[in-house]
Amino acid sequence: MSSNDKYQTPLSTRYASQEMMSIFSARTRASTWRQLWVWLAEAEKELGLDISDEALKQMREHVTVTDEAFVVANEYEKKFRHDVMAHVHAYGEDAPAAAGSIHLGATSCYVTDNADLIFQQRALDLILPKLAKVIQNLQQFALQHKDLPTLGFTHYQAAQLITVGKRAAQWIQELMMDLEDIETVRERLQFRGAQGTTGSQATFLELFNGDADKIKQLNEILCKKAGFPSAYPISTQTYTRKVDLRVANAVCALGATAQRICSDIRHLANLKEMEEPFEKSQIGSSAMAYKRNPMRSERITALGRKLARLPADFTATFEAQWFERTLDDSAIRRMDIPEMFLLADSILLALDNVTNGLVIYPNVIKARIDQELPFMATESILMKLSTHGVSRQDAHEEIRVLSHEAGAVVKQQGGKNDLLERIKKNEFFKPVWNEIDSLVDAKLFIGNCPKIVEDYCNGDVAAKLAKYSDSLLKAETAQLSI
């Protein structure tokens, strides 16, 4: 049957990277199980169990599961209705000298749970530098436009001016929070190790003739082989599903951040102040040829919406685990864990593209400022008049009347804001006529924005990105070679 005749997730066919898909592939999963069995046998032999060198040799030679081995395992699974035991038997056929040593003392969760922790560790290591790259893109953008005035919005109504760079710095700060949270769960991720069927370690205590110290050594060896600092001190048949929820809370929050950033970009695209990259031959609409839709930002928003809501699944799965475990976690975790990382990966790939090629239109930004700045400048005009001995109350009333007249031109006639022209023609304001133009320079209204951007981007952000300097250099080199 052709792949075109079977459902495939868009995450794998359209959005996610090959590297991330490979982590959660069937071959990687089954081969990781075999690697875990090798590590267990090696550790058990090191601690005195009778496992032959030939058994280990054959196991090591057949760690990667071949297409033929999958066929064998599938046949065993039809018979046993148990995926792990199917692969135990298939591995035994590939490594017959080890048939009696594979999975010795272990429960199924030795391979399934430890493999899931390995996959999450690898996936976290894959998304962290990609997130750092997006932050670097925005850091450069923010510094470039740190002093370019733009209209600020509160309640999506015109507010005090900020700068284009200051708005980007806000996006950076939120992504930095995601980066720090994901780094934290990566650093705290531990291994399940070899804990037995209910976490009592009973089978391993029997294998080692009651020597509990050897169980401790066994898990230390396994953690070292797998690249984990330690194993969780308490285990049931599984590692606690609180771990998955902890990871999800950090990773899935990226979905909310991505939505927020791309919603801003989409609104700014509507205002024609900013656009995501738009390729020369790109089509915006099948009917409206003139359109330049922010389709990448819309895609990110959609993927972010899905990712941000996944923690509800992980919460329910954790809540529903009874006592030492129930199997109602299995099917949903097979979907949720890969989907979480494929979504995050897809979002970061698209965000990298968008933030690496943001286009701004300064003249449109200035025109929008010009429509609002005269109103904002009236307070400065009031202050100047007072230095000429003019009553502030009288000046306030004069400006109020002229402002309403100018506002009517904008709202009722669709004209430009002519408040300053009205002030320049009104004899009441003659004492400050020559100073009015200097009072409406937009850069007088951006406050401390340039320094805020410089201090943050060259301080906290630069310090954090230094940790990812090697991966960022590789990404930059790769982009230059395209």
Catalytic residue numbers? 155, 285
What distance in Å separates the CA atoms of residue 38 and residue 266, rounded to the nearest whole number?
52
What distance in Å separates the CA atoms of residue 439 and residue 426, rounded to the nearest whole number?
17
Residue 167 CA, chain-centre distance (Å), reads 19
Show contacts of 428-431: CB within 8 Å, 24+ apart: 428/390, 428/394, 428/395, 428/398, 429/381, 429/385, 429/398, 431/384, 431/385, 431/388, 431/390
The amino acid present at 250, given as its one-letter code, is A
What distance in Å separates the CA atoms of residue 252 and residue 241, rounded to the nearest whole number?
16
What distance in Å separates the CA atoms of residue 419 and residue 184, rounded to the nearest whole number?
54
Closest to 453 (Cα-Cα) out of 49, 109, 169: 169
DSSP letters, 386-426, are HHTT--HHHHHHHHHHHHHHHHHHHHHH-----HHHHHHH-
151: β partners:
161
The token pair that represents 346 in the structure block? 């897809």
Q: DSSP strand E in 281-422: where?
A: 359-360
The token pair that represents 181 in the structure block? 């949270």
Residues 6+ apart with CB under 8 A from 80: 86, 89
